[in-house]
Amino acid sequence: MSGDTITQPHHPSCAPSRAARELGLKRGELDLAVHLGLIRTVPDEGGGGRRVLRSEIERMSSEAGFPDTLRERVKVAGTTQGADLMHVSAGRFTRLARLGLVVPVKWYLNRYRAVVWLYLAEELKQVAADENNAPLLNARRMPEALRAMLDTGVDLRPRNWRGRHRGFLLRLAEDPWESAGALAAFLDPVHIAEIVPDPYERSHLNRFRPGPPTSGAPGSPSAHLAERLMTADDPDEISLLRADLTAVLEEARDRRPAPRPATRRVPAPAHPVLPGPARPEESEPPRGLLSWLRRRARGGAC
């Protein structure tokens, strides 16, 4: 056997914090760029999360207008800034967001534990520039059907954010089990138990099930709120997630079944032992008789 070793090609990469500095971004902006698919990442071979390929940094750095164009693509706006970009009131902006005309890209909890939705500034400008949206943006009153929906309490912001975040997680998935975990992340444990009744398989699936991107300490009010935002609550959304998860699980099982504990086998004896009737216990001869027998054997008996 020769001493030559075939090695896998090495792709230079760096940690996200280093990549952010080299690209002129804040760490949150880099994360958003990855989320949007603008920058590709690879798993850390040492298990330390994901890393940014050096080739990606070079590619982004060579684009025209760098770094301003990159910053513009990841710039976000809250309700007040978004309303200004779309030239509408803050109240109308919120109503349009609730109806799903604009889709949040991320969120955070403020000090009052209220959800603050953030939107891509670039997308808001595109919505405002679309002439088809002019009636919704400029009309004095919104159409009656839309007002009726708002009166019933419709709010598509959580669902639309979940759809966007689900796409991000699925892009990162590298095998069917990771894809299944990404889908399961948006279903509550009851639905998962119905789809995956086998406890070993369910335990394996949960290894790939990511949590909310933002949360406080486990069990805290912030963590509970983050979990609620992450969990689908619309019947149509739940139905689609269940169907997708069922299909992806079939592929995952075919490719690599979930591990199970090894079954211990007790080896059979080489020669079967046939039980027979118990032999009666023989009592020890009296001491006097033993002495007499020994003397007799030596020829000293009389």
Out of 48-62, 175-189, 199-213, 271-285, pick the least confident.
Answer: 271-285
Segment holding 111, helix H or strand E: none
Residue 228 has a pLDDT of: 93
292 pLDDT band, cuts 50/70/90, is very low
Q: In degrees to the nearest 10, what's the CA dihedral of 115, 121, 122, 125?
A: 110
Reply yes or no on whether the pLDDT at 150 is more than 60: yes
Residue 294 has a pLDDT of: 55
Average pLDDT over residues 78-106: 96
Query: What pTM, to 2 d.p., does this model score?
Result: 0.79
Residue 2 has a pLDDT of: 44
Residue 10 has a pLDDT of: 59
Reply yes or no on whether the pLDDT at 275 is more than 60: no
223 pLDDT band, cuts 50/70/90, is confident
* Mean pLDDT rounded to a whole number for the chain: 86
The torsion angles phi and psi of 116, rounded to 5 degrees, stand at -110, 115
CATH number attached to the domain at 13-73: 1.10.1660
Whether the upstream peptide bond of residue 67 has omega within 30° of 0, thus cis, is: yes
Residue 59 has a pLDDT of: 95
Assess contact for 223 and 216: CB atoms under 8 A.
yes
Q: What percent of the chain has pLDDT over 90?
A: 68
Reply yes or no on whether the pLDDT at 215 is more than 90: no
Residue 80 has a pLDDT of: 96
Assess contact for 155 and 98: CB atoms under 8 A.
yes
Reply yes or no on whether the pLDDT at 280 is more than 50: no
Reply yes or no on whether the pLDDT at 79 is more than 60: yes
d(CA 276, CA 4): 66
Q: Within 62-175, where are the H helices?
A: 68-73, 79-86, 90-98, 121-129, 134-138, 144-151, 157-172
Residue 298 has a pLDDT of: 54
Residue 44 has a pLDDT of: 82
- Please, which residues have CB within 8 angstroms of residue 296's CB and are 6 or more apart in sequence? none
Reply yes or no on whether the pLDDT at 286 is more than 60: no
d(CA 74, CA 80): 18
Give the tokens for residue 173.
């998935």
Sheet with 76-77, side-by-side order of all strands: 76-77, 115-120, 106-109
Reply yes or no on whether the pLDDT at 274 is more than 70: no
Q: Which amino acid, 224?
A: H
Residue 180 has a pLDDT of: 97
Residue 290 has a pLDDT of: 46
Residue 124 has a pLDDT of: 97
Out of 84-93, 103-112, 127-136, 214-223, pick the least confident.
Answer: 214-223
Collapsing DSSP to helix, strand or coil, 131 comes out as helix
Domain ranges of the chain: 13-73, 76-155, 158-255
Average pLDDT over residues 88-117: 94
| Burial of 202: CB neighbours in 10 Å, binned 0-12, 13-18, 19+ | middle
Reply yes or no on whether the pLDDT at 8 is more than 90: no
